[in-house]
A and B are shown apart, each in its own frame.
Chain A
């Protein structure tokens, strides 16, 4: 399937906050109440449309366990967006955010868009972290904030798409060097010029091509 852009994401956060479930909800539109612990890094992909352009999201879902930190660190580089997830029913996952953020900032490229996500918003009765606290943290560190629920799928789609929008805007502004693939962005397969002249008026690939060069 052809796409205009490919964005690479990474999902990080403490173990058990629902990273894999978020990914599963986004890619497969289903929820698994009992999910096995991620061992290493899992991989998912989905197409979205922004501004009339097909964008492929490639997502690395990392293991939250401390023991896998060295493995997952190598994945920061090469990601254009990061979803930093905590669990609103567990205060300590919120407290660890600073460590995660430092880690991400240190190992990723400086332009990476980071979105803060408070997951499990369906469990409001067991909430330990107020929404305002999450908002304050995000404001302080310059992140986008959202509360989601992988179970009810609330805001899941939005979280991924908003991040993509942000990246897309940054591309338009020229912040990202899109030719450096280490930034986690790839321009879609450009159709050869001969081909596009045969097919006639501007198809998407041609347009993208023109826009970028």
Chain B
């Protein structure tokens, strides 16, 4: 049945061994010898019976317990059941001849003592009892008790165990149901009629009888028999689901069939041999025996099905399970399972949030909605907002998939929690106008539509040429205002406007502000400030365009009124523009002008003001903004042009830490055409910093300074001599290191060769772990470490590795791994390269990791496996990019002709590269398929 499967989710957690103390008790002295044969769960306790006749009762989440001997030692208790109403425990012991039935009062249980209410023997002999069901009569403490046997007989008892005389020791009725064993019995009491479900391998049937039935031997007439199923198929387990429709569930190999008292109900197809089934809440827990190979000891599969929604909500391999305790008090606590090895499992439902997030991940929003609705029904709490959130995600998902009509349906369900603009924004495209209309209509139907929404809806209707269903928002106040404006004077105007809504005022002013300013600018300023105060959502910049050119003074007055009262950028921008205008006309004090800029700090748009300052050539202002905007290179260029070297060095020093390029900028200024070479002292200062911070290589410096009107060589001689000396030192250092490493490689190769070809002698006398003389049994490692076998077990987790060398080996392994595992290293390489100061070092580092060549890794089996070719064109480009930044070591271009004699060819790292025919070992970019024409070094 693999074609069709249940929807699978993981809504449960299975915790193993939740009560160690209970397991300890069951496997310990008292329970150790027996096997748990049957279990039952009562109101607050869980009952376990074993093959020795003992009963274990656990209370309160396995924390407390009680043990007592119910049947003779050695008599297995084959069946047990607890009556739900008065908490009586029924046990059935069977040892070969007759079954002994005992009824216990759990309500009066003391330590190791439980009062036995009744004890009697079954009338049917030499048959093993296989099924038991008990039910309270409902009216009084009478109980019905049905016992099924292995050859198909069933005995029904009735009686009141609390009254010594009343309980019938003989059977109320005896039926022979089938020739095969009865696998399950269940009572279902509805009012006065009682249904008795019987499940056997020969079929399933139910008896209906009046629960007030009096004792009459074998009066089968009183029982109306309904055959529910005649199929002779193994039915291994059954259970009664009481919550909804009282289905009797029978687990067969192909499916779980439900039966009502008079016929078939639904069925759940689930392939597999069912061992146990049990219901709790909406869930059906079943244990299947699996034939497929499973992890050790887990030959069974635990499956939980959500009957209501038809999901498989949990599935996991599990060991053999003896019984399932279903908690009748509610599904919230989940249920407990007892394995054959006496370990207790707890199956617990996940909380709603984690379920939902699981579903969101899978984009199963419809199910999320369903589940949270169910959850809400159960909890009787309504969290509309959370639902709206789910609908929003659902809508987003549908929208993303292009199913706009469906998504708008979901969005409508988010009203009134979701901000309408979120949805409107999505459907503004004219293609989705019908969706938009639908949403807006729903908004206005819900009574949460604002005037804007209504306006939009109206426009949509107009567009679709539909009759307008929405009354338009009132326009009358504006018209009124317009009339007033013409008639009344400006002073009383403010009072009238105060009454109007901001939007109306805005519209009104848009039409009339020009008129007002023309009429009386001063009055207009007063009116406008008044409007701005009365209507905080009308910004002062709204009025700026209505002042004409020659009303600048009034406008400044108007704007100055709002200094520190508003955050509107335009107000400050405009104000500064006017100040600068005044400044350029009157050439007023630069300092006072600058002060104004600093006062308005952070309130104006800096880019805009920068343009203004440039326009009005207000240099202090420009510099001020450069500094504010971190445009130090521009200020350095300015200083340089002004030959203000002290300021230039100062700003280089102040900001150079964060932006070292400033120094390079300072150096480069000297190549500007207007022969503005830096004075020697400044130049040396700059170069000093550059060499200290390794901002540029000497060749780059040389290239930068090698320009027309550049500084004289004499000025730079000291710098270059110093640099050469330093480089020389590093060169010798590194040559030494290379030599050392080469030697190491040679010695290691020798060692490996030695290990491979020559016999190794193990002469260890001491254990490397405990430093005691070695005794047998001992383990020798090829690294010449030796241990006692016991020491190895104690000190290392893995006998394969020498615990002394393991740390180093792990480190080495990690290095190898790192060099090979990152297929995506190109990106990180680029990142590192961009950030680093010393490109060559990064290059060589990555070269050593094998980023540029094919490498072979010899794994443990000795087979070499070539990793995928990781070199892509991008790498070659990278190498070229880097190389472009590097100096070009051509002799003819050597600017230091005077030093030619002392030039040591052997020390030139690029010496080999001059020879085009030679791609020796030294070429880090040597790869297969390499195009020598692309090599910038040639």
Q: Are chains A and B native binding partners rather than an unrelated pairing?
A: yes
Q: Which residues of A contact B (CB under 8 A)?
A: 6, 8, 34, 36-37, 39-43, 58, 60, 63, 65, 67-68, 70-71, 74-75, 78, 181, 186
Q: Is the CB of A68 within 8 A of B269?
A: yes
Pick the residue among A42, A68, A78 that contacts B263 (CB under 8 A).
Answer: A78
Complex Cα gap A42–B258 (Å): 10
Complex Cα gap A40–B255 (Å): 7
> B4: CB under 8 A from chain A?
yes
Q: Which residues of B contact A60 (CB under 8 A)?
A: 264, 266
Complex Cα gap A63–B267 (Å): 10
**Extra contacts besides A36-B310, A41-B264, A68-B4 (17): CB < 8 Å:** A6-B262, A34-B366, A37-B4, A39-B5, A39-B268, A40-B256, A43-B258, A43-B266, A58-B263, A60-B266, A63-B4, A65-B3, A65-B4, A68-B269, A71-B254, A71-B269, A181-B263
B516 to chain A, nearest CB (A): 61
Complex Cα gap A146–B270 (Å): 34
> B265: CB under 8 A from chain A?
yes
Q: Given A67-B3, A71-B254, A40–B263 Cβ distance below 8 Å?
A: no
Q: Which residues of A contact B4 (CB under 8 A)?
A: 37, 39, 63, 65, 67-68
In this complex, what residue of B is CB-closest to A184? B263
Q: Is the CB of A63 within 8 A of B269?
A: yes
- Interface CB pairs A-B, < 8 A, 26: A36-B7, A39-B5, A39-B6, A39-B268, A39-B269, A40-B266, A40-B267, A40-B270, A41-B264, A42-B266, A43-B265, A65-B3, A65-B4, A67-B1, A67-B3, A68-B1, A68-B4, A71-B254, A71-B255, A71-B267, A71-B269, A74-B264, A75-B264, A78-B264, A181-B262, A186-B262
Residues in B1-26 with C-beta less than 8 Å from chain A = 1, 3-7
Q: Which residues of A contact B328 (CB under 8 A)?
A: none
Q: Which residues of A contact B389 (CB under 8 A)?
A: none
> B386: CB under 8 A from chain A?
no
A153 to chain B, nearest CB (A): 19
Q: Which residues of A contact B262 (CB under 8 A)?
A: 6, 181, 186
Q: Which residues of A contact B5 (CB under 8 A)?
A: 39
Complex Cα gap A186–B254 (Å): 28
Complex Cα gap A181–B227 (Å): 9
Complex Cα gap A186–B310 (Å): 29
Q: Which residues of A contact B266 (CB under 8 A)?
A: 40-43, 60
Complex Cα gap A181–B264 (Å): 12
In this complex, what residue of A is CB-closest to B265? A43
Complex Cα gap A34–B229 (Å): 33
Q: Which residues of B contact A42 (CB under 8 A)?
A: 266
Complex Cα gap A74–B258 (Å): 13
Q: Which residues of B contact A43 (CB under 8 A)?
A: 258, 265-266
> How many residues of B are in contact with the other chain, CB < 8 A?
24
In this complex, what residue of B is CB-closest to A60? B264
> B231: CB under 8 A from chain A?
yes
Complex Cα gap A65–B256 (Å): 17
Complex Cα gap A36–B5 (Å): 10
> B226: CB under 8 A from chain A?
yes
Complex Cα gap A55–B267 (Å): 24
Complex Cα gap A37–B268 (Å): 12
Complex Cα gap A78–B7 (Å): 30
In this complex, what residue of A is CB-closest to B1? A67
A39 to chain B, nearest CB (A): 5
Q: Given A8-B263, A71-B254, A40–B268 Cβ distance below 8 Å?
A: yes
Q: Which residues of A contact B6 (CB under 8 A)?
A: 39
Over the window 782-826 of chain B, the binary record of Cβ atoms lying under 8 Å from chain A Cβ atoms (1 yes, 0 no) is 000000000000000000000000000000000000000000000
Q: Which residues of B contact A (CB under 8 A)?
A: 1, 3-7, 226, 229, 231, 254-256, 258, 262-270, 310, 366
In this complex, what residue of A is CB-closest to B2? A67
Interface centre among B3, B231, B258, B366 (most CB of A within 10 A): B3
Complex Cα gap A71–B263 (Å): 15
Closest 7 CB pairs of A and B: A40-B269, A43-B266, A40-B267, A41-B267, A40-B268, A39-B269, A67-B1
Complex Cα gap A65–B2 (Å): 11
Complex Cα gap A37–B266 (Å): 14
Complex Cα gap A96–B188 (Å): 42
B229 to chain A, nearest CB (A): 7
In this complex, what residue of A is CB-closest to B231? A74
In this complex, what residue of A is CB-closest to B305? A39
Complex Cα gap A8–B228 (Å): 14
Q: Which residues of A contact B265 (CB under 8 A)?
A: 43
Interface centre among A40, A60, A75 (most CB of B within 10 A): A40
Complex Cα gap A36–B269 (Å): 14
Q: Is the CB of B254 within 8 A of A70?
A: yes
A184 to chain B, nearest CB (A): 8
Q: Which residues of A contact B269 (CB under 8 A)?
A: 39-40, 63, 68, 71
Complex Cα gap A70–B231 (Å): 12
A73 to chain B, nearest CB (A): 10
Q: Which residues of B contact A75 (CB under 8 A)?
A: 264
Q: Is the CB of A39 within 8 A of B3?
A: no
Complex Cα gap A67–B269 (Å): 10
B251 to chain A, nearest CB (A): 13
Q: Which residues of B contact A36 (CB under 8 A)?
A: 7, 310
B748 to chain A, nearest CB (A): 64
Complex Cα gap A67–B268 (Å): 13
Q: Which residues of A contact B310 (CB under 8 A)?
A: 36, 39
A156 to chain B, nearest CB (A): 21
B91 to chain A, nearest CB (A): 36
Interface centre among A65, A71, A78 (most CB of B within 10 A): A71
B193 to chain A, nearest CB (A): 10
Q: Which residues of B contact A68 (CB under 8 A)?
A: 1, 4, 269
A176 to chain B, nearest CB (A): 16
A40 to chain B, nearest CB (A): 4
In this complex, what residue of A is CB-closest to B4? A65
In this complex, what residue of B is CB-closest to A72? B267
B373 to chain A, nearest CB (A): 14
In this complex, what residue of A is CB-closest to B258? A43
Q: Which residues of B contact A74 (CB under 8 A)?
A: 229, 231, 264
Q: Which residues of A contact B270 (CB under 8 A)?
A: 40
Q: Which residues of B contact A34 (CB under 8 A)?
A: 366
Interface centre among B255, B266, B267, B268 (most CB of A within 10 A): B267
In this complex, what residue of B is CB-closest to A62? B267
Complex Cα gap A75–B262 (Å): 14
Complex Cα gap A37–B7 (Å): 10
B153 to chain A, nearest CB (A): 25
Q: Which residues of A contact B7 (CB under 8 A)?
A: 36
Q: Which residues of B contact A37 (CB under 8 A)?
A: 4
In this complex, what residue of A is CB-closest to B245? A43
A195 to chain B, nearest CB (A): 13
Q: Is the CB of A181 within 8 A of B267?
A: no
Complex Cα gap A60–B269 (Å): 14
Complex Cα gap A75–B258 (Å): 12
Q: Which residues of A contact B254 (CB under 8 A)?
A: 70-71
B111 to chain A, nearest CB (A): 49
In this complex, what residue of A is CB-closest to B252? A71
Interface centre among B231, B255, B265, B366 (most CB of A within 10 A): B255
In this complex, what residue of B is CB-closest to A42? B266
Complex Cα gap A42–B308 (Å): 11
Complex Cα gap A69–B226 (Å): 25
Complex Cα gap A49–B229 (Å): 30
Q: Which residues of B contact A70 (CB under 8 A)?
A: 254
Q: Which residues of B contact A39 (CB under 8 A)?
A: 4-6, 268-269, 310
A11 to chain B, nearest CB (A): 13
In this complex, what residue of B is CB-closest to A61? B266
Q: Which residues of B contact A41 (CB under 8 A)?
A: 264, 266-267
Complex Cα gap A9–B264 (Å): 11
In this complex, what residue of B is CB-closest to A182? B227
Complex Cα gap A74–B5 (Å): 21
Q: Which residues of B contact A78 (CB under 8 A)?
A: 263-264
Complex Cα gap A6–B7 (Å): 33
In this complex, what residue of A is CB-closest to B262? A186
B905 to chain A, nearest CB (A): 79
